[in-house]
DNA sequence: AAGATGGGACAGCCATATTGACGTATCTTG
DNA sequence: CAAGATACGTCAATATGGCTGTCCCATCTT
């Protein structure tokens, strides 16, 4: 990364020192941006007696219908037990269903019910509204940069998974 | 925001539809980027028997020494009780101290002990390493865009607070 | 037939958040 | 100065969302 030439430090200063500002700014913006964006859906979730964990599952099932449970476990990076509780809640509320896999009958493929689709769309609207206005304010070139930096934060072993999410829509 | 001209949808498609892709991509990258970055410090925290909540407090106290508790409450947006426990833990470990405010003696101003400074620096190094490599891979222009979009996600009422964090370093 | 894999479930625990109520010291203001 | 607001602390109870360990069954692979 090019260091801005206008920084007024002695030429002997280490690159790490020069970068601290920019890193702290990134840490803080990520923290505030992420928490404030996700906060936008809390009310909608609370109306159904659900929490953010439920939304994360709902979101990725919406994104990749017929997702096997093992794939969702990798995406969320939580334990089977934690996910099990969340999925049971969603099934009890009639938002998520499973069907047995065809090529591997051990698998259960997850998909949303019509009510689940509706609910997820309603929550997505809150996210869309927040992100779209940030995109609009920043401009398309900034959005590209935003993506590029975030992609760089994803470890190589997870990158394929994220790209797979985005390829088929 | 300009919509990429290469998108192959009928000209009658609504702008909201056109944007869904880009929004989902942002949601996902934010989720993975944020969680993967913060995961980098979990080991260091666990060595001291601390969690992420402790790190958030530690981080912002490092960032603004002599921060009053009320300011930290606003930043973290949690309740006084939740923060109280975290601060007690940090004080017990000898990482954080308070002193009575001079202009307002009701306030307790938070600062890190020398051990706290050392520990925070060690955790910051993990964040720095992750973010700096993402910055380097993306390039300075992307970093600017990354910041711009994230700033747009912060509600107006919180923006002053975030800018205050960054002005004095 | 044996082992690996996908999924489910029980029990118990921990971290982090919440609400509500109450107390004390200190500052501000009529 | 008295009254009220503010900054902070604390007790008690509760919810959420993670975790580990263990054991189970069905199904696929070899």
Residues 51-90 of chain A: which lie with beta carbon within 7 Å of strand D?
51-54, 56, 77-79, 81-82, 85-86
Query: Residue B153 burial (CB < 10 Å; 0-12/13-18/19+)?
Result: buried
Q: Which of B30, B64, B160, B167 to mutate to test the interface with A (most CBs of A within 10 A)?
A: B30
Residues B6 and B166: their CA atoms lie apart, in Å, by 38
Q: State which residues of chain B have pLDDT below 50.
A: 1-14
Average pLDDT over residues A130-148: 95
DSSP string, A10-22: -TTS-HHHHHHHH
Task: Note whether A17 contacts B: Cβ–Cβ < 8 A.
Answer: no
pLDDT of residue A10: 39
Range 32-91 of B in CB contact (< 8 A) with A: 32-37, 56, 59, 63, 77
Distance A80 CA to D23 C1' (A): 15
pLDDT of residue B135: 96
pLDDT of residue B18: 57
Domains identified in chain B and CATH numbers: 24-167 (1.10.10.10)
**Which tens digits make up the pLDDT trace of A24-70?**
999 999 999 999 999 999 999 999 999 999 999 999 999 999 999 99
Neighbours of B84 (CB within 10 A): 13
Residues A147 and B156: their CA atoms lie apart, in Å, by 23
Residues A97 and A112: their CA atoms lie apart, in Å, by 6
pLDDT of residue A3: 45
Contact call for B145 and A138, based on CB within 8 A? yes
Please determine, for residue A119, whether its predicted confidence score (pLDDT) is greater than 60.
Answer: yes
Q: Which of B34, B123, B153 to mutate to test the interface with A (most CBs of A within 10 A)?
A: B153
pLDDT of residue B70: 97
Residues A114 and A164: their CA atoms lie apart, in Å, by 24
B157 touches strand C (CB under 7 A): no
Report the nucleotide nearest the CA of residue B45, measured to C1'.
C15
- Smallest CA–CA separation between B132 and chain A, in Å? 7
Residues A142 and A29: their CA atoms lie apart, in Å, by 15
C-beta of residue A78 within 8 angstroms of C-beta of residue A64: no
Residues B73 and A83: their CA atoms lie apart, in Å, by 31
Task: Tell me the ipTM for this assembly.
Answer: 0.89
pLDDT of residue A19: 83
Please determine, for residue A9, whether its predicted confidence score (pLDDT) is greater than 50.
Answer: no
Residues A26 and A69: their CA atoms lie apart, in Å, by 33
Through-space distance between the first and last CA atoms of chain B, rounded to whole angstroms? 32
Query: Which chain B residue shows the shortest CA-CA distance from A163?
Result: B25
CA A141, chain centre distance (Å): 21
Helix or strand (DSSP H, E) at B162: helix B156-167
pLDDT band of A167, cuts 50, 70, 90: confident
Question: Could you tell me what percent of chain A has a pLDDT over 90?
Answer: 83
Please determine, for residue A91, whether its predicted confidence score (pLDDT) is greater than 70.
Answer: yes
Placement of tokens 């002193």 in the chain: B99
C-beta of residue B97 within 8 angstroms of C-beta of residue B111: yes
Average pLDDT over residues A146-162: 94
C-beta of residue A95 within 8 angstroms of C-beta of residue A58: yes
Average pLDDT over residues A100-125: 97
Tokens of B81: 């009780």
Spatial strand order of the sheet with B108-112 comes to B67-68, B108-112, B96-100
**Which tens digits make up the pLDDT trace of B51-69?**
999 999 999 999 999 999 9
pLDDT of residue A8: 39
Report the nucleotide nearest the CA of residue B98, measured to C1'.
D8
């Amino acid at each position: 990364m090019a260091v801005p030439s206008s920084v007024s430090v002695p030429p002997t200063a280490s690159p790490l020192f020069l970068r601290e500002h920019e890193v702290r700014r990134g840490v803080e913006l990520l923290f505030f941006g992420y928490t404030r964006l996700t906060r936008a859906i809390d009310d909608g979730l609370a109306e159904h007696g659900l929490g953010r964990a439920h939304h994360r599952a709902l979101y990725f099932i919406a994104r990749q219908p017929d997702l096997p449970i093992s794939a969702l476990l990798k995406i969320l990076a939580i334990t089977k037990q934690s996910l099990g509780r969340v999925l049971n809640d969603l099934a009890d509320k009639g938002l998520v269903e499973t069907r047995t896999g065809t090529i591997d009958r051990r698998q259960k493929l997850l998909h949303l019910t019509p009510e689940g689709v509706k609910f997820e769309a309603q929550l997505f609207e809150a996210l869309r509204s927040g992100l779209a206005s940030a995109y609009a304010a920043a401009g398309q070139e900034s959005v590209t940069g935003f993506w590029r930096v975030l992609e760089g934060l994803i470890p190589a072993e997870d990158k394929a998974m994220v790209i797979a999410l985005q390829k088929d829509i």
